[in-house]
Structure 1
Amino acid sequence: MKRKALPVLRKTSIAVAAASLLLGLTACGSSDSGSSGSDPSEPLRIGASPSPHAEILGYVKQNLAAKAGLELEVKEFSDYVQPNLALDDGQIDANYFQHKPYLDDFTKSKGIKLSWVAPVHLEPLGVFSKKVKDLNALPQGATVAIPNDATNGARALKLLADNGLLTLKADAGTEATEKDVATNAKGLKFKPLEAAQLPRSLQDVDAAVINGNFALEGGLTPATDGLVLEKPEGNPYANGVVVKAGNESDPRVKKLVELLRGPEVKKFIADKFKGSVIPAA
């Protein structure tokens, strides 16, 4: 009986071992893809808008990174959605294109966990026009294009309010919409568009409120072409570095932030963008 039982026991042991091996392989394969980018020996893959973010990162990569022992791979994105999705699913290790109010709204609406690391620069939002040279010259019923995402749309309305074109309800806050406009003496009509499309809209509207990076990409110089710009003092919309939650202590990220906030990059920003981009405090 014992001799007959042995083969059965052996087969059972082999089956258990095989099942354990399969379970181990499956567990490895099902690990969160976003956590794989924390190996300090690998290049830091970072997503960025072409201008000014990728230009600033390009300066760091060419002039500062090697000396600091940092290897960068910069991937450019042309919109405000894909860089966060790519970060969430592990295609990149960090991104640099957005301000914290946008990040907070995006992560809440998408149900993903990304973490703000540090601010780097401010791109003052501006009002641009091909038809008037002064905001007060906007005609009655003028059409003004604004960003269609919640945070930058609210930011655009606040800029218009700060310059006397309308007033907002007292409790409008950073999520203001057209419904929060209290008075609109000129009867302005708002045309929400994807932020990247705003520079091209200038031929079709009376004015557009454009994010600094897309103004630069569209051939505009905010410091000289903008009819008005946001004030930097107390401005919550500084752009900064973001990682997937849990990777805040990645030594490569810490090293990059130190370089981006250092004196060499601040001087590069000042010299290159001449007031259209401003280093964060």
Structure 2
Amino acid sequence: MKKYLKIAVAAIAFLALAAGCSNQGKASEAKETTVKLGVIGSDTDVWDDVKDRLKNEGINLEYVKFTDYNQPNAALADGSIDLNSFQHQFFLDNYNKEHGTDLVSIGNTVNAPLGIYSEKVKDVNELKKGAKVAIPNDVTNGGRALLLLQTAGLITVDPAKKQTPTVSDITENKLDLKISELDASQTARALSDVDISVINSGVAVDAGFTPTKDAIFLEPVDDNARPYVNIIVARKEDADNKTYQKIVDAYQTKETEKVIEETSKGSSIPAWETFGKK
């Protein structure tokens, strides 16, 4: 009887150990979560730092890189990716309106001022009559570019159009500037063909520019810049996803702030410090 009892106890212990190992393996597997993040361009230096720290949380951040500004939102809406980080709130609002999507911001990242660049002049005051100008062709960045040209004293636009003036809303153009509307990704490449080009910060950095150093006129960072704060975006039903919130928390840290300062040379500003976390 004692012999059988020992065998039974040993069997139970073995089964318990096996079950424990199995559950431990499952728990380990459950801890590893892959999140696909859509980005524009090749500059992922800031996210690389966040990605490394997220490994300690059991989160594997996988980049999905795009070249066109409309692709990351379409991919997010159809479930091809889980999050994206490339746009400002105003761009997102306009995209949702135009495409009937329900994508939402879950966290602020940086404010990246729009800049005017040139290979031909060093100051906007040097522009001659009939100068050629390139701006982004999408509604939000195009309007933002025209407002920047107005801030620089080059044109005046209809104030009734608020954040979305178009070229047809220009009410004063003393220099008779010839404005061409291009895909945002092409504005840097157009520099050799125009006198000045209005270029998004990310595109400028990818082209090798340091906005605070190379732009001949840079967008002021004030309350008017709030709609242009860059954001992390999710589908509405995932807004409170705990894993995604951990990603936001990992981004909005002093460690990230330091990397932003180093990699952008002061051209990008941690938006959660200036405009709040969300």
Calculate the TM-score normalised by the size of structure 2: 0.84
Matched, 1:111 2:103: no
Distance change (3 Å), C-alpha of 1:67 and 1:134: same
Q: Name the residue aligned to 1:56.
A: 46
CA deviation after TM superposition for structure 1 residue 77, in Å: 1.1
Alignment of 1:242-281 (within 5 A): 242-280=233-271, 281=274
Q: Name the residue aligned to 1:150.
A: 139
Look up the equivalent residue of 2:175 and give its one-letter code: K
Matched, 1:101 2:99: no
Report the count of equivalent residues: 241
Distance change (3 Å), C-alpha of 1:279 and 1:51: farther
CA deviation after TM superposition for structure 1 residue 198, in Å: 0.7
**Matched residues in 1 for 2:148 and 2:266: separation?**
18
Look up the equivalent residue of 2:219 and give its one-letter code: E
Contact 2:104-2:239 within 8 A present in 1 as well: yes
Contact 2:33-2:58 within 8 A present in 1 as well: no
Calculate the TM-score normalised by the size of structure 1: 0.83
Matched, 1:121 2:119: no
Matched, 1:223 2:212: yes
| Structure 1 residues without counterparts, runs of 5 or longer | 1-38
CA deviation after TM superposition for structure 1 residue 51, in Å: 4.9
Q: Name the residue aligned to 2:123.
A: 134
1:125-159: CA deviation from partner (whole Å, max 9, x where unpaired): 00000011110101101110000000000000001
**Matched residues in 2 for 1:42 and 1:194: separation?**
35
CA deviation after TM superposition for structure 1 residue 40, in Å: 7.9
Contact 2:134-2:194 within 8 A present in 1 as well: yes
CA deviation after TM superposition for structure 1 residue 222, in Å: 0.8
CA deviation after TM superposition for structure 1 residue 178, in Å: 1.1
Q: Name the residue aligned to 1:90.
A: 79
**Matched residues in 2 for 1:161 and 1:177: separation?**
12
After TM superposition, the runs of 4+ consecutive aligned structure 1 residues lying more than 4 A away are: none
Return 197-206 or 270-279, whichever deviates more. Answer: 270-279
Contact 1:94-1:242 within 8 A present in 2 as well: yes
Identity in percent: 39
CA deviation after TM superposition for structure 1 residue 172, in Å: 2.0
CA deviation after TM superposition for structure 1 residue 98, in Å: 0.3
Matched, 1:191 2:180: yes
Contact 1:147-1:209 within 8 A present in 2 as well: yes
**Matched residues in 2 for 1:71 and 1:91: separation?**
16
Contact 2:42-2:65 within 8 A present in 1 as well: no
Distance change (3 Å), C-alpha of 1:166 and 1:222: same
1:202-261: CA deviation from partner (whole Å, max 9, x where unpaired): 000111000000001111111111001111221120111000121001111101111111
CA deviation after TM superposition for structure 1 residue 41, in Å: 5.4
Task: Report SS of the residue matched to 2:240.
Answer: coil
CA deviation after TM superposition for structure 1 residue 170, in Å: 2.1
CA deviation after TM superposition for structure 1 residue 169, in Å: 1.6
* RMSD of aligned residue pairs (Cα, Å): 1.4
Task: Report SS of the residue matched to 1:202.
Answer: helix
CA deviation after TM superposition for structure 1 residue 70, in Å: 2.4
Look up the equivalent residue of 1:115 and give its one-letter code: V
| Structure 2 residues without counterparts, runs of 5 or longer | 1-29
